[in-house]
A and B are shown apart, each in its own frame.
Chain A
């Protein structure tokens, strides 16, 4: 494994996760894999069907965001589970929209079930949630001597 924080990536093979409903804007992309670069806690979720769809994810931070959303019975079924045990929540980062900040989409987090290798994008209807929440500063370019 590449990291102890996550068991969803592996050196030896790509674990495929099925998103039965796809991801908004990419209806044909239902098979995804996680790519982890080994630095920090960010992950790259890439579509196997549409490789250009590669999202950077950050783990859900309860300190900043509060508790994770509650799934409906139907959403549990979509993930092929019956309860919230073993679920992992992420926010989708956008590092390309702002020069100063990496933003996070709080309206549509990603939840995955590692044991079933399933996932979905959870649409939140609350209008007060930010599409581009200031998540972290953009990395500074390395100084040259």
Chain B
């Protein structure tokens, strides 16, 4: 993993079209802005991981068999 030191007001550029700007660092919390093209989906990691896990949990059984058994 690449680790970069940045101060408030400084930014990081990813590819030609994504810019991340540090807005504030206070009490161990970093606020930053992300400028990215509309086709780049940005999600909080913990939210996305929750959804990944729940999607996988939802297919732990045989969906068709469950539907049939539902009657």
Contact = CB atoms under 8 A, between A and B. Distances in A.
Nearest to A56: B63
A139 B68 CA distance: 11
A1 interface: no
A125 B62 CA distance: 29
Interface residues of B, number: 28
Contact of B58 (A37, A39, A55, A74): A55
Contacts of A56: 58, 63, 66-67
Given A54-B63, A95-B61, A25 B53 contact: yes
A24 B52 contact: yes
A34 B58 CA distance: 16
B3 interface: no
B55 A55 contact: yes
Contacts of A44: 63-64, 67
Interface string A114-135: 0000000101010000011000
B4 interface: no
Contact of A139 (B41, B64, B70): B70
B7 interface: no
Interface of A: 21, 23-26, 35, 37, 39-40, 42, 44, 46, 52-56, 72-74, 77-78, 92-97, 105, 107-108, 121, 123, 125, 131-132, 139, 141-142
26 contacts: A24-B52, A24-B55, A25-B51, A25-B55, A39-B67, A39-B70, A40-B70, A44-B67, A53-B59, A55-B55, A55-B58, A56-B63, A78-B39, A95-B66, A96-B57, A96-B58, A96-B66, A105-B51, A105-B55, A107-B47, A107-B50, A107-B51, A123-B51, A131-B51, A132-B54, A139-B69
